[in-house]
Structure 1
């Protein structure tokens, strides 16, 4: 059965149906989350059969394609018979092939292409030229002798003619292009993709059967189901004020299950003066998190930005810095191993190189190796910014991120697991790019966390925050989310306060509470059928079901048999849980 999405009311109905039936009724074009991160001898077919791109496989000469920047283009064929397009005699970085399209307002476009270069390996970027300027939609580290896929995304504020083209700062290389795709989605379709993914990776379909003491089904039984704890790790950073502030504690523990210390575990805090370590702030915060079953991400062992070194570290010679880093790593990891679930080993290592510039290019590998030796259980993470926030920053593109990840994996040995930490400090939001970047990173099969999520202040802050939270929570590659700096004693947060100094919700706080409610925080009520069954689709988490007698209240039921605690995870689909009532 298929339903055609023609009106917004139908879109809302579809979203509701998807929550129950996992999206089987959707007639929208299904989103393709796949990405290829290996360099292949021949490109694969274009996603969505090319979408709105004419001649996406370059099988019909150069039909639909033109030159950009005074370059020469031609169709060529490989030994295997694959046809592709080549831009050569390039004199400018923007000299390449181009394709004209119409981008429509309120649509989200997913882009993909396969690229190869002749000459030497280099970065190739895809851009759209519109009436409003230039928009980068993705970049890839293109190689000689094999094809690399990259994905990107774009949306526009108003409908506009646009020109797609490719760019490389190295004008000595020829750019080869094949299997290009540009697929539009409506906002309703985009939301339906999120709901389908949530149903698949965040929820499980189960049956609850209410029976009496003799095992006989109880029909028409009223049941309430309350989620006590969300299984998906949702958290926020905290500062040391939480140790003495009861209101802060209550606000935090009612919402979150994981945290990161904002400054208290960083080197400039724990050893502000050389040789004088002070872990008292982090120790007291860990006592609080342990008491409330809050998981902690160790942030961070080192920070590669020169600006954030302890003042005395900046002046050390390489001969003195080496032993100092050894002492720091051994001290903090040994102290907190077994008490943190992860370590950000060398923060923002894609953008900065303080330690590499002084101790050699392999020092980050050594940091990871030594951390793994000291702590065998915690996940070791890269952690950086602009990989999903800003497609214009080629320094930390998904392609560059994966190259560094593979280097670290090689240093740790085969099959080593390294977490992908994505800070998520947003200014504006290109949600189509966010999804495509996550697709590429998820192809590594490494765990991905959003580690420092916030949005720059402005009139669209709350709306952007909701867009991002919905997108990253729904993406199948994401395994945890931490929001950054949500509360400040003076109301001056890093970018985004969820609450004011008195813990009254601000607009982003309202967004968060709405989504927590949506993700299982509400109490569900249902009535059993003739066979005593209730069919439910529940977010993964810990639950309590309560039996309510006809015309009665839960508190009127005898303690024995009035409630049932149970857990839901990805293995729970299809399970039947029996609730034996003694009432």
Structure 2
């Protein structure tokens, strides 16, 4: 029996057919090179425009355009080792429960933001961006008893108060909001209020926090081909309904995919076609709660789609309890899952690079998109110039970077 912290191999005949594993991986790498990396041609000169033959270039990646993230719980607050582990690995986070309505207002009128306040403070101090998960949840199972007992009029009043409270409190501090969680599978607010309930709440959030991306967040959109409630076409249709609702035209929308693949067999062809279709919307895609036994293939396939801007591993440390997988044991020592993720983190970043310019003062390299520090050194005098800038195909459309050695 497979343990929760193991990495399971595929039967390649099932997974990749009719392609070989190598053909599948080659296509993924091609898409990664096209969508995640930028080819550069450095031209090194002196102030008089003379080429600097033999100039040394030192390239250091400061940040990545892609975010590795992890689910976070209140258990991190009193555990310094856990804090250090988290901050050393991740640049993004999703709170498991601590921002949900049932957590911050268990009893009507008694709000408590102590835990999310402290968790967000920790994230801010360590340069970790946080998603607002979630303002409202359309599943009746996760409504407080007092919420379920409200009349439609009182429910609208309470939900609007909830929206105003949490969004005003964290306005401008989050990378995105899950406004109405799982509103394809569930319809609590639509049944109690109005068929346009989701769209109206997106509008309310937008009017309070207009610069923050607002997400849908669903399960089984890429996970299971037989789930008829939330396939990619229905997801995009619902998203369009929200965008077309009066007053919502200016909303920055995003696509949240929970990605609870679990331990069941996966149709990787369906994953690829689903992500390809969703990518056509031109919106940022986040895998928000990744939990899967067949981990490497899902990570590689997801990363090969440039629209996927971040992957949140749902459970990092076993301190928070393991559903399908954990990266560490209770001592924060890597499991095989943790080893695999560390390996891919390393593979999908640009290590420190040293180059030497040719006789024309030129040198070429391909790097992952992100922010970089570039130092160029004169081979004779050791005079140096250091600059930092963003590298991607938009920032540097023609591949050429001209650096000048001063002094």
Which has more helix, going by share of residues? 2
User: Where is the strand percentage greater, Structure 1 or Structure 2?
Assistant: 1
CA distance in 2, matches of 1:419, 1:485: 23
- SS of 1:514's partner is helix
How much does 1:563 deviate?
4.3
Provide the C-alpha distance between the structure 2 equivalents of 1:495 and 1:274, rounded to a whole number of angstroms.
34
Could you tell me which residue of structure 1 aligns to residue 162 of structure 2?
A: 328
- Preserved contact between residue 65 and residue 309 of structure 2 (Cα < 8 Å): no
SS at match of 2:319: coil
- 2:258 pairs with 1:434: no
| TM-score, normalising length: structure 2 | 0.88
* Structure 1: gaps (5+ residues): 1-104, 109-153, 157-183, 456-460, 551-556
Cross-structure match for 2:183 = 349
Structure 2 residue 364 is the aligned partner of structure 1 residue 535? yes
Give distance in 1, aligned partners of 2:328 and 2:143: 30
Residue pairs, 1:54-203, within 5 angstroms? 106=12, 184-203=18-37
Structure 2 contact 259–289 (Cα < 8 Å) conserved: yes
C-alpha distance in structure 1 between counterparts of 2:250 and 2:393, whole Å: 24
Question: Structure 2: 5+ residue runs without aligned partners?
Answer: 1-10
Q: Where does residue 424 of structure 1 map in the other structure?
A: 259
- Please name the residue that 2:373 is paired with: 544
Distance 1:581 1:501 in 2: 51
Number of aligned residues? 393
1:497 to 321, 326, 339: 326
CA distance in 2, matches of 1:562, 1:399: 51
Shift in CA distance, 532/446, structure 1 to aligned 2, threshold 3 Å: same
Query: How much has 1:581 moved relative to structure 2?
Result: 4.8
How far the C-alpha of 1:318 sits from its partner, in A, is 2.6
| Native 8 Å contact 2:357 2:363 kept in 1 | yes
Corresponding residue for residue 576 of structure 1: 400
1:79-123 per-residue CA deviation (whole Å, 9 max, x = no partner) reads xxxxxxxxxxxxxxxxxxxxxxxxxx8468xxxxxxxxxxxxxxx
**Correspondence 1:466 to 2:273:** no
**What do you get for the CA RMSD once the two structures are aligned?**
2.6
Match of 2:238 in 1: 404
Tell me the TM-score normalised to structure 1 length. Answer: 0.62
Residues 1:306 and 2:140 are matched in the alignment: yes
Distance 1:542 1:445, change over 3 A: closer
Q: Distance in 2 between matches of 1:314 and 1:486?
A: 33
User: Is the 8 Å Cα contact of residues 185 and 230 (structure 2) preserved in structure 1?
Assistant: yes
Task: Point out which structure has higher relative CO (alpha carbons under 8 A, 6+ apart).
Answer: 2
The more displaced of 495-504 and 334-343 is 495-504
Q: How far is 1:521 from its partner? A: 4.5
Q: Which residue of 2 aligns with 1:452?
A: 289
- Shift in CA distance, 214/245, structure 1 to aligned 2, threshold 3 Å: farther
